[in-house]
Amino acid sequence: MIRAVLQYDFLQNAVLSAVLASIACGIIGTIIIEKKLVMMSGGIAHTSFGGIGLGYFLNIEPIIGALVFAIGAALGIATIRRKYQTHSDVLIGMFWAVGMALGILFIAITPGYPPDMTSYLFGDILTVSPMDLWVMAALGGIILLVIALLFNYFRAYLFDEEFTTVRGIRTVFLEYMLFILISLTIVVLIRVVGIILIIALLSVPPAIARQFTYDLKKMMLSSTLLGVVFCLMGLWISYELNIASGASIILFSVLSFILVSVVKSRLQMLRKVNTDTKDTQL
Amino acid sequence: MKNVIEMSGVSVYYDQICALDHIHLNIKEKEFLAIIGPNGGGKSTLLKVVLGLIKPDKGDVKVLGQPVRHSQSAIGYVPQFSSFDKQFPIDVTDVVLMGRLSDRIRLFHSFTKEDREIVEKVMKQLEIDGLKNRQIGQLSGGQLQRVLIARALVTNPKILMLDEPTASLDANAKTQIYAILKELNQKVTVVVVSHDMGAVSSHVNRIACLNKKLYYHGEAQLNNNVVRQVYGCPIDLIAHGIPHRVLKTHEGEVS
């Protein structure tokens, strides 16, 4: 496959997009699972389907439509939640379903042949275009920059929002910023794993990383590396077996998670048994 | 002695439900005050009003003579430690350093040498410097509570406010925490919110009894009459394990 990567543009694009997606997903994924926003991210992702539909209907780049809808959904959920103290569960559910419904509606009223939506729903890393790559690189750069600029504040906000507010730091600003970053991440990931599979790629690498480190920065870094491994392995499997890349990436990541968790708990048990027998010998 | 916190006619409603009803409360400098009352009696709400997290529907709150918004740096806040996500990837030093974040957001912020020295000093004072690289989930309740007190102290507060600082701690740890607070009280005003009457009564010098209304505010000597009014039923006033005071009889409502 390595020779193929050197030979074909589409494979080079695929590898590059895997790396870009992993950076966004390592950083934001870590934040999402620490702030317990996994379902919120799923909601934003599904709402963006409406934007893809609108993109086709207006004959503009669908990914731009997705970007607009994702940011709209993020800001909408954040604002309504703050103003009316609604359960975010209910809100997320509504945005989730309405976004999908709008997407289907727009596709239906788009004149001509209905486009194939599977690559947006389930991702197809092998069809990433140079235009997609530029969008992904720009968004990934923004995510990296914002988190680097405000890292200490974000950590304080994630750990103890109330205390940070009492200190006079504008946590509302941080919250909106975070939600926008989440929607950017989702747009970066749509081409790689698709709307439906995004939450797995966001949550699996940090869920593995947090079993091995207690440091937020290290967790982001190792999640990014794990993301790269998962994406490239998934890409290879998808290339060899000729199946959709989104599915192979997600299945490979989740299998790795199960494997790591089982092995780790086994090792811990073994260590415990060892120390126990030592104790009785002494 | 001057007042550091002045509340006059403060009322807070959640939708239609009244949480605080016309509270008048002045807290004096260097006072060690415990606000006690049953769960749902508005203790945490009162704390949040003073901290500026909740805006009162009626009334006026001043901290050090200033309206709440501009005085936040005067208060060191110690939240309930039981409400934390103990899995969060952060170590003790980083938690305490949080207290050194200033309200002005600076890009590429990193903590200065001075910040780190202050943090080091306070951690020594509270005897948690041996734990500085521990992840917070590896601490006992009493240790975590001291970490949170340290974080509040590095903000250089004039007033220390603690929400249920001894809830779910054993008797030994409770005594330690109150000993620390007593020592700190020589320099700062300490306000503790608690439903644990036993632990409170033998350590603080003034108490305020709160159940929507402020029923009593004064010396830390309660009689059963007041307690019955606040809690709605008689409650055992004997403190365990600590030299407890003889409770004087005391009539009347608010001082």
What is the C-alpha to C-alpha distance for residues A157 and A170, in angstroms, rounded to an integer? Answer: 9
Q: Which residues of A110-124 are buried (b: 16+ CB within 10 A; e: fewer)?
A: beeeeeebebbbbbb
Are B89 and A158 an interchain contact pair (Cβ–Cβ within 8 Å)? no
Are A166 and B53 an interchain contact pair (Cβ–Cβ within 8 Å)? yes
pLDDT at B252: 45
Q: What angle do CA B130, A162, A167 make, to 5 degrees?
A: 75
pLDDT, tens digit, for every residue of A141-176? 999 999 999 999 999 999 999 999 988 899 999 999
- CB A181: neighbour CB atoms within 10 A? 23
When scoring A155, A166, A213, A222 by the number of chain B Cβ atoms within 10 A, the one with the most, hence best to mutate, is: A166
Question: Which run of H or E residues covers position B198?
Answer: helix B197-201
Nearest CA in chain B to A174: B105
For chain B, which residues make up each domain, given as ranges? 3-102+109-231
CB burial class (10 A; 0-12, 13-18, 19+) of residue A90? exposed
**Do the domain assignments include residue A280?**
no
Most confident of the ranges A95-109, A191-205, B221-235: A95-109
Q: Which of residues B15 and A23 earns the better pLDDT score?
A: A23
**Do the domain assignments include residue A282?**
no
Residue A146 sits at the chain B interface (C-beta within 8 Å):
no
Residue-by-residue DSSP string for B65-132: TEEGGG-GGGEEEE--GGGS-TTSS-BHHHHHHGGG--SS--TT----HHHHHHHHHHHHHTT-GGGT
pLDDT, tens digit, for every residue of A55-84? 999 999 898 999 999 999 999 998 988 887
Sheet holding B206-211, edge to edge: B75-78, B159-163, B189-194, B32-36, B206-211, B213-219
**Do the domain assignments include residue A226?**
yes
Domain count, chain A: 1
What is the C-alpha to C-alpha distance for residues A152 and B156, in angstroms, rounded to an integer? Answer: 20
Closest chain A C-alpha to B35 CA, distance in angstroms: 20
Nearest CA in chain B to A214: B89
Q: What is the mean pLDDT of chain A?
A: 90
**Do the domain assignments include residue A278?**
no
pLDDT at B248: 43
| B68 neighbourhood in chain A, CB within 8 Å | none
| B91 neighbourhood in chain A, CB within 8 Å | 214-215
**Do the domain assignments include residue A179?**
yes
| A45 has a pLDDT exceeding 70 | yes
**pLDDT per residue rounded down to tens, chain B (255 residues):** 788 999 999 999 988 888 899 999 999 999 999 998 888 888 889 999 999 888 899 999 999 888 887 666 789 999 988 778 888 999 999 999 999 998 788 888 889 999 999 999 999 999 999 998 999 999 999 999 999 999 999 999 999 999 988 888 888 888 889 989 999 999 999 999 987 776 676 778 888 888 888 887 777 666 556 666 666 555 555 443 334 343 443 444 443
Closest chain A C-alpha to B99 CA, distance in angstroms: 8
**Do the domain assignments include residue A124?**
yes
Per the CB < 8 A criterion, the answer to whether B217 and B254 are in contact is: yes
| A52 has a pLDDT exceeding 80 | yes
pLDDT at B98: 93
Per-window interface: B 58-77 vs A, CB < 8 A:
72-73, 75, 77
ipTM of predicted assembly, 2 dp: 0.84
Closest chain A C-alpha to B106 CA, distance in angstroms: 8
Here the CATH number for the domain that contains residue A19 is: 1.10.3470.10
| B111 neighbourhood in chain A, CB within 8 Å | 152
User: Which residue stretches of chain A are H helix?
Assistant: 2-7, 9-34, 38-58, 62-84, 88-109, 118-122, 130-149, 151-159, 161-166, 171-193, 198-209, 216-241, 245-281
| A85 neighbourhood in chain B, CB within 8 Å | none
Determine the 3-state secondary structure of B13 from DSSP: strand
| B94 neighbourhood in chain A, CB within 8 Å | 155
How much of chain A exceeds pLDDT 90, in percent? 64
Per-window interface: B 168-227 vs A, CB < 8 A:
none
> Which of A220, A245, A181, A217 is CA-nearest to residue A41?
A181
Residue whose token pair is 């918004």: B69
**Do the domain assignments include residue A97?**
yes
| A111 has a pLDDT exceeding 80 | yes
Domain range for A31 is 2-272
**Do the domain assignments include residue A277?**
no
| A216 neighbourhood in chain B, CB within 8 Å | 89-90
Closest chain B C-alpha to A221 CA, distance in angstroms: 13
| A219 neighbourhood in chain B, CB within 8 Å | 89
| A84 neighbourhood in chain B, CB within 8 Å | none
CATH of domain B3-102+109-231: 3.40.50.300
pLDDT at B71: 62
Nearest CA in chain A to B155: A167
pLDDT at B212: 86
Closest chain B C-alpha to A145 CA, distance in angstroms: 10
Nearest CA in chain A to B83: A160
